[in-house]
Structure 1
Amino acid sequence: MRVPIQWLRECIELEEDARTVAELLTNLGLEVEAVATVAPGATGVVAARIEAVEPHPEAADLKVCRVDAGPRAGRLTVVTGAPNARPGMAVAMALPGAVLPDGTTIGVREVRGLASQGMMCSLAELGLGDQPADREGLADLAALAGDPAAVPSAGTDLAEWLGWRDEVLELSLTPNYASHCQSILGVARELAAATGRRWRYPGEHGAGGPGEEEPSGPGTGRTDEPAPGSSQPVTDAPGAAAPAEAALGGPWPVRVRVADPEGCGLYVARVLVDVRAGGSPLWVRRRLVAAGMRPIDRIVDVTNYVMLELGQPLHAFDGDAIADRTVVVRSAMAGEVLVTLDGRERVLEPRDLVIADARRAIGLAGVMGGANSAITPATRVVLLESAWFDPRRVRVTARRHGLLSEAAQRFEKGVDPAAVERASARAMALLAAVGAGRPLPGAAVVRTRRFPPRRLPWRPQRLRQWLGVDLDDATLAGSLQRLGFRVDAAAGAVDVPSYRTDIEGEVDLAEEVGRVYGLDRIPAELPAGRPAGDEVSPRLRLTWQAREALAQAGAQEVVSWAFTRPQAWDALRLPPDHPWRRAIPLLHPLAEEHSLLRTTLLPGLLDVLAYNARRQQPGALVYEVGAVFVPEALPLADLPEEPVRIGVAGYGELGGLHWAEPGRPVDFFTVKGVVETLLEQLGVDAAAVGWERTDEPWLHPGRAAVLEVDGRRVGWLGELHPRVAAAWDLGERPVAAELDLEALLPAVRPVPTYRPIPRFPAIRRDIAVLAPGDLPAATIAGRIRQAAGPLLEAVRLFDRYTGKPVPEGQVSLAFALVYRAADRTLTDAEVDRVHQRVREALAGMGLTLRS
């Protein structure tokens, strides 16, 4: 969120500079990411006046203007195609060497044989709008200022006048501050608490502060809402449970009916007639641009202006497009269709709350208006909406339709019900001030919900305990009152201001006191009491050991989203009945790609590999240890199981950037070695580990295996199927593996077993066989161990060969056998007997012995 300092000064007296203000807000918990200016690099644009306009001798659509750019630049010749260039016009002149807000550098250039000494700018080129009307002609400084006398004299640098040097605070609002700080007024209230000064509503000279009633009456801009900082409720209409109605008479009568009281608690409609199309004046454009919004036209700009200023979203409808001049707030009908302002057709559901007229829906309540009631240059009557919509309904609708508008982001966090009427009145006053039209007196106000004052217990001792600081009652109460709370010590209660929709419980009061008192002033002390035991569950200990072992093996840890997308299952080539497809859908996903809880770590790991590959990384080897979510059945009836899985993935080549450092490929055997190292570090007996071929659909046929420990399947490993690799744009034969931590637990030895260093020498014998190409080497190794018995210490495959003279369809495999006894030196005769048993066992398998 961007907060212009000059706009902020309208709501509170600030003596401090922007950086000091940023520090004050940061100390209160509002993170200020940066202090910036609107257009820091823009320079060289001055006020100028067109003295003469002549047609270009070589181009009918161009004009040659003689421009007075002031005493320093003198008189210049400028070629332009702007249709509105005329003598006497005050314009913004970009001199040769000038830099515009978008970074464009202006020079002297030849246009059809004539040298153009700079450029006269449009509103779009000045960064004050991007609508077609803002790009078509020159910016008329007199019209922009609203008064020819307010235009700077020729030659004046326009950087300040255009707002390019205005300072802006860039806030990073966390969810606990987003509801009450998403406005200029909200930030001013926070500064009032930090400085002890009083804040005021925009456009008012009287200051308002916590617990202070302000006078009502002409000139104050007040309606019937409570005074600032108060917690008086907005009253109900009679029969609030039933649909409520209100009407506004006069020259343009309108009727409002709320047919869904649960979805809309308060609705205010006002009417603007004699509407005049056109752009906003400079002061409105400056503030909108500084706050990060695009100027559009007078009507829309004012609604955005008030939303930024007070935090209350507004919407303007074309009054003549409202059938029977009747506004109905209702639930959508099943299958009802609405084309929203972004031009997209939306199919609605009954849970969607809509604004409708007597015939059709004309807007998604709190989210976006409909194209059928949009403001156009032909609009002559505007119906202005200000309302309180149920946050849950807005959130559901916005997420379902993927419309995260500025209005929806505020409504779904809860707007201040006491600001609904104030914002409506403020907008009508501004519309009149900018010449947008004539406001009709009065408003149609429908209230269907009670907003009672929220009261929390006042127990100072509890606050002291939570804070860990011995503050007296007066300090505690004063801190809360500076934030707008009312403390009634006699009644033992604290009234929460209506704009603090984030305050839910008594512990929140302690946090508020801590913010004002200063969290940095609270001493760091350990809580009293007996420390918790250091017992760790076997699963958690195994998780720690797995992370350490994988890091030691050279893999980098990553943490991917716990969510995935439905398209991932097709990309992994999963059949329709595959268990991974039975994933839990989220009710309100942030985005479609995060709409399911993951049932495997694989999509997240592949996303990480793809991210690295797109950035030209030659290779990567990553791992993740995390939970997946396995439901018993869908739709979800009980909580799902959350088994922990270990995932490893890699591609390409590691290292090799230095001439003396050879690259290390990340292939099937690399990842297999990482998994075997992990098992060894976890204490899993190597004799219990076995690999078997598999044909999982996401893995390459013939380059995939399942891992078994003590005969139980605990994971899989393999090179990805080429189509799967292509779906993630991975062209380096990526490899992945996933292990089930729960299945590994029975085979893990948490405490390593001590084995003394061998005292007696080992004897190595090699054996080579011809075997069928489809016979796993692990099967042969297992038969060797079985035949050799306890004297065999290790068996390793050290050579594999195909080709002449080995017959087609067969492979030559060579194994190294290491024999050793723990209590004596073996003789050749003993080893020969055992080795002969091994040869006979292999021959019994139908294998041809080569040595």
Structure 2
Amino acid sequence: MRVPVEWLRDFIDVEEDARSLAERLTALGLEVEAVAVVAPEARGVVSARVETVEPHPEAAGLKVCRVAAGPAGRFTVVTGAPNVRPGMAVAMALPGAVLPGGMNIGVRDVRGVASEGMLCSIAELGLGDQPADRAGLADLEDLAGGDPAEVPAAGADLAPWLGWTEPVLELSLTPNYAAHCQSILGIARELAAATGRPWRFPWDRQGEGGSGRQAAAGVPAADAPGPEAPGGPGGGGSGWGEASSGPAEAFLGGDWPVRVRIADPEGCGLYVARILLDVRPGGSPLWLRRRLVAAGMRPIDRIVDVTNYVMLELGQPLHAFDAEAVGGGTVVVRSAAPGEVLETLDGRRRTLAKDDLVIADASRPIGLAGVMGGGNSEITPSTRVVLLESAWFEPRRVRRTARRHGLLTEAAQRFEKGVDPQGVVRAANRAMDLFQQAGAGRAVPGAAVARARTFPERRLPWRPQRLRQWLGVDLDDRTMAGQLERLGFAVDPQAGQVRVPSYRTDIEGEVDLAEEVGRVYGLDRIPALLPGGIPAPDQVSPRLALTWQVREALARAGAQEVVSWAFTRPAVWDGLRLPPDHPWRRAIPLLHPLAEEHSLLRTTLLPGLLDVLAYNARRQQAGALVYEAGAVFVPQSLPLEELPAEPVRVGLAGFGELGGLHWAATPVPMDFFTLKGVLEALLDELGIPAAACRWEPVEEPWLHPGRAAGLWLEGRRVGWLGELHPQVAAAWDLAVRPVAAELDLEALLPAVQPVPAYRPVPRFPAVRRDIAVLAPQEMPAAAITQRIRQVAGPLLEAVHLFDRYTGQPVPEGQVSLAFALVYRAADRTLTDEEVDGVHGRVRQALADMGLTPRS
């Protein structure tokens, strides 16, 4: 947010320079990112008078002007502006000047005539970019409101007059400040709290018309400007309000009757309509243009500029309708009919939902409430009557509508945080006053004010001791009460209550009062102290502890952790070759996704991991092994009727070779067996015995046939592993043979041994015996290993598959598998007879399985 210091002075006396002011506001919690000026690069533009205008001798449509620029001298300038005339006060960019935006001006030859500088349009001065602003030269007398005395003398530097040198504070507002600080008024209140100086409304300043201007605009005394006392506590009101039991109506008679009806009290609590007659189109005067530009907004025309000005000044968004386009002279605030269509001001036709709150006339919607107006009622050059809207809309309704239609407008951002209900009438009256100042039209006295909601005072307990405990500072009651009152709160010690101002919609409880006291007192003055009391015991859930353990184990195995979005896109299911009835396709859709890429909650970690692999592959990485531990979302039913299950899983994916380019490194291929080894190492670190696990071939649509396995633990499938199907790899542009795996940590949890069991160093030697068999190629080696363990009994310490061979002389369709069996007894040295007996039983058991021994 940009805050021009000149504008701020209308509300409060500013004694500091801009940098000191920024330090005060930052100390109060409002971060000032930068202190700048409106046009830091602009220079060399002076006031001048056109003396003569002659046609260019060689170019039709161009004119040769003689221009007097005071002490700078007289210059010859060529221009094509249609409105140039002798005696015209203009802005001249001298040779060597720089305009806003960085355009450099020099002497140039224009068809044989040397043009010494340039005469500037309003757009070139940075005060607007509408077609009318670019069509001709800026008439300085017109910008000054038609008063020649307000135009600087010829030769005077125009930078201060145009506002280019005005300091501006650039604020970065956090959400807790955005509700009440997105306006000049809000910043003035904060500065008043920091300095103790009173603030004021601009119309209350001496010599500026004050109540006389308000009366001229026809402001009802009961409505202007509201119960808030400048410089003191704000009026009551929660800023949210309570809906009445039925609709509310209001009527404004006179030269242009208008009726207002709030048909949806849940969505609109207060609606004010005022009428502006004899509307005169055209650009805004200089004072209005320069303030809008300094605040970061583009001047458009008098009507739009005033509504934007009031929004920036008071924080209340307004909207202007062409009253002649409002059918029946009736404004209805209602919910949209499902399927109803509205073309908004951005030219897009939008299909409305039932929850959308709309502004309608007697027969059709003419605007999205609090978000954007409709094109069917927009202000045009032919507009002669304006209906001005100022309202309080329910914040959640505005937020949902703005997100649904992707319209994060300035108005929506303010309404969704909650505007001050006591400022609604005030803003409408202020706009009517400014319309007349800008020469935009004639205000009709009175207003149609429809109230469908009450805004009761909101009060919080006043317990100073609790505030002291939260702050850790021993402040007396009077000091804390005074600091709150400087922020607009009203403290009643006898009643033990604090009245919250209506514009502070962010204040919810007593702890917020402590924060308010602390930031006025000075957060930098609060000493750093350790909290008292007994710390709670460090308790970590088994699920979280397992996740930490898995992450550490996989990091030691050489995998890199990634964190992907918890969302995915519908296209991934086809990319993974999933059939229509696959469980992964039963993903929960988001009501208001940020993008189509993030429209579903994930049911597997695989798509996010493949996105990471594809990102690395596109950047010529030789290989990668990544993992992610996180929740997936499994709905109990669709549409949702209860919360979904959120099991935690760990996914791994890799491709290429690991190890990088190094003279002593041997690259490790990231294939099926490498990834299987990583998983087995993980299971070992988790204390899950190998005998409890079983790998078996599986068929999954996203995995390569014959290169996929499922992991079973105690009869329950807990994961899968395999090389990706070539079509899946192609869908992610992975030219290599990627592999992936996913384990269900919830299913592993019962078998995990969180503390490794101690095993003493063996005192007696082991005996190794090898055995090789011919087995059918389709038989899993794990099945043979499991049978060996069953037959060998307690003397078998370990069994390892150390060789696999196919080819001559092994018969076709079979494979030679060699196992190393390690025998050991804990209490003695085994004899050959004992080992031979056990080993013989193993050989016989394998023969009974139909396997042919080779050794």
Length-normalised TM-score, structure 1: 0.86
Query: 2 CA distance for matches of 1:116 and 1:835?
Result: 107
Query: 1 CA distance for matches of 2:542 and 2:511?
Result: 35
Match of 1:299 among 300, 303, 312: 303
Report Cα offsets for 1:27-51 as digits up to 9, x if no partner.
3333334444444455565556666
> Structure 1 stretch 552-561 or stretch 775-784: which is displaced more?
775-784
| Change beyond 3 A, Cα 1:488–1:595 | farther
Report Cα offsets for 1:246-303 as digits up to 9, x if no partner.
2222222222222223322211111112222222233333332333333222211211
* 2:204 alignment partner, SS class: coil
Report Cα offsets for 1:133-159 as digits up to 9, x if no partner.
344445444444445554556666555
| Change beyond 3 A, Cα 1:107–1:787 | farther
Within 5 Å, which residues of 2 pair with 1:673-692?
Answer: 673-692=677-696
Match of 1:390 among 391, 394, 415: 394
Whether contact under 8 Å (1:265, 1:388) holds in the other structure is yes
| 1:500 alignment counterpart | 504
Query: 1 CA distance for matches of 2:773 and 2:783?
Result: 13
- Once the two structures are TM-superposed, the CA of residue 477 in structure 1 deviates from its matched residue by 1.1
Query: 1 CA distance for matches of 2:668 and 2:80?
Result: 62
| 1:131 alignment counterpart | 130
Does residue 1:350 correspond to 2:351, yes or no? no
| 1:171 alignment counterpart | 171
Q: How many pairs are equivalent?
A: 841
- Once the two structures are TM-superposed, the CA of residue 605 in structure 1 deviates from its matched residue by 4.4
The one-letter code sitting in structure 2 at the alignment partner of 1:456 is L
Report Cα offsets for 1:91-144 as digits up to 9, x if no partner.
555667666554566677777787777665554454433333344445444444
Query: 1 CA distance for matches of 2:658 and 2:63?
Result: 63
Greater radius of gyration (CA) = 2
Whether contact under 8 Å (1:760, 1:820) holds in the other structure is no
| 1:401 alignment counterpart | 405
- Once the two structures are TM-superposed, the CA of residue 362 in structure 1 deviates from its matched residue by 0.6
- Once the two structures are TM-superposed, the CA of residue 564 in structure 1 deviates from its matched residue by 4.3
| 2:186 alignment counterpart | 186
| 1:5 alignment counterpart | 5
| Change beyond 3 A, Cα 1:607–1:394 | farther
Report Cα offsets for 1:369-414 as digits up to 9, x if no partner.
1110011122111111001112232223223323222212211221
Query: 2 CA distance for matches of 1:227 and 1:64?
Result: 58
| Change beyond 3 A, Cα 1:234–1:506 | closer
Within 5 Å, which residues of 2 pair with 1:469-484?
Answer: 469-484=473-488
- Once the two structures are TM-superposed, the CA of residue 662 in structure 1 deviates from its matched residue by 7.5
Query: 2 CA distance for matches of 1:121 and 1:659?
Result: 68
Match of 1:468 among 469, 472, 477: 472
Does residue 1:362 correspond to 2:366, yes or no? yes
| 1:287 alignment counterpart | 291
* 1:751 alignment partner, SS class: coil
The one-letter code sitting in structure 1 at the alignment partner of 2:453 is R
* 2:460 alignment partner, SS class: strand
Whether contact under 8 Å (1:772, 1:809) holds in the other structure is no
| 2:824 alignment counterpart | 821
Report Cα offsets for 1:219-249 as digits up to 9, x if no partner.
69871521233325699x9x96443322222
- Once the two structures are TM-superposed, the CA of residue 532 in structure 1 deviates from its matched residue by 2.0
Report Cα offsets for 1:614-656 as digits up to 9, x if no partner.
7787765443333333332234333333322223345666674
* 1:626 alignment partner, SS class: strand
Match of 1:627 among 612, 628, 631: 631
| 2:226 alignment counterpart | 225
Match of 2:717 among 713, 723, 738: 713
- Once the two structures are TM-superposed, the CA of residue 695 in structure 1 deviates from its matched residue by 3.6
| Change beyond 3 A, Cα 1:655–1:834 | same
| 1:24 alignment counterpart | 24
Report Cα offsets for 1:761-807 as digits up to 9, x if no partner.
767777777766655555565566567666665555667777x7689
| 1:642 alignment counterpart | 646
| 1:741 alignment counterpart | 745
Query: What's the RMSD between the two structures over aligned residues?
Result: 4.2
Query: 1 CA distance for matches of 2:504 and 2:128?
Result: 34
Query: 2 CA distance for matches of 1:833 and 1:593?
Result: 64
| 2:457 alignment counterpart | 453
Whether contact under 8 Å (1:255, 1:325) holds in the other structure is yes
* 1:714 alignment partner, SS class: strand
Within 5 Å, which residues of 2 pair with 1:126-165?
Answer: 126-146=125-145, 147-152=147-152, 158-165=158-165
The one-letter code sitting in structure 2 at the alignment partner of 1:360 is R
| Change beyond 3 A, Cα 1:553–1:167 | farther
Length-normalised TM-score, structure 2: 0.85
| 1:335 alignment counterpart | 339
Does residue 1:308 correspond to 2:309, yes or no? no
Match of 2:426 among 422, 427, 434: 422
Query: 2 CA distance for matches of 1:61 and 1:288?
Result: 34
- Once the two structures are TM-superposed, the CA of residue 716 in structure 1 deviates from its matched residue by 2.8
Query: 1 CA distance for matches of 2:712 and 2:540?
Result: 27
* 1:388 alignment partner, SS class: strand
* 2:627 alignment partner, SS class: strand
Whether contact under 8 Å (1:32, 1:169) holds in the other structure is yes
Query: 1 CA distance for matches of 2:767 and 2:319?
Result: 88
| Change beyond 3 A, Cα 1:722–1:155 | farther
Whether contact under 8 Å (1:766, 1:814) holds in the other structure is no
| Change beyond 3 A, Cα 1:550–1:121 | farther
Match of 1:753 among 750, 757, 760: 757
| Change beyond 3 A, Cα 1:525–1:245 | same
Within 5 Å, which residues of 2 pair with 1:711-790?
Answer: 711-721=715-725, 735-757=739-761, 776=780, 778-779=782-783, 782=786
Within 5 Å, which residues of 2 pair with 1:591-610?
Answer: 594-606=598-610
- Once the two structures are TM-superposed, the CA of residue 427 in structure 1 deviates from its matched residue by 1.1
Whether contact under 8 Å (2:237, 2:500) holds in the other structure is no
| Change beyond 3 A, Cα 1:76–1:114 | closer
Identity of aligned residues (%): 75
Match of 1:539 among 528, 534, 543: 543
| Change beyond 3 A, Cα 1:55–1:426 | same
* 2:454 alignment partner, SS class: coil
> Structure 1 stretch 281-290 or stretch 439-448: which is displaced more?
281-290
Structure 2: segments with no counterpart, 5+ residues: none
Match of 2:267 among 263, 266, 271: 263
| 1:211 alignment counterpart | none
> Structure 1 stretch 305-314 or stretch 516-525: which is displaced more?
516-525
Whether contact under 8 Å (2:704, 2:722) holds in the other structure is yes
| 1:210 alignment counterpart | none
Report Cα offsets for 1:539-568 as digits up to 9, x if no partner.
222122122223333444444444445555
> Structure 1 stretch 642-651 or stretch 658-667: which is displaced more?
658-667
Query: 1 CA distance for matches of 2:669 and 2:586?
Result: 35
| Change beyond 3 A, Cα 1:353–1:614 | farther
* 2:469 alignment partner, SS class: helix
> Structure 1 stretch 217-226 or stretch 22-31: which is displaced more?
217-226
Query: 1 CA distance for matches of 2:625 and 2:347?
Result: 45
- Once the two structures are TM-superposed, the CA of residue 422 in structure 1 deviates from its matched residue by 0.6
| Change beyond 3 A, Cα 1:420–1:822 | same
* 2:453 alignment partner, SS class: coil
* 1:534 alignment partner, SS class: coil
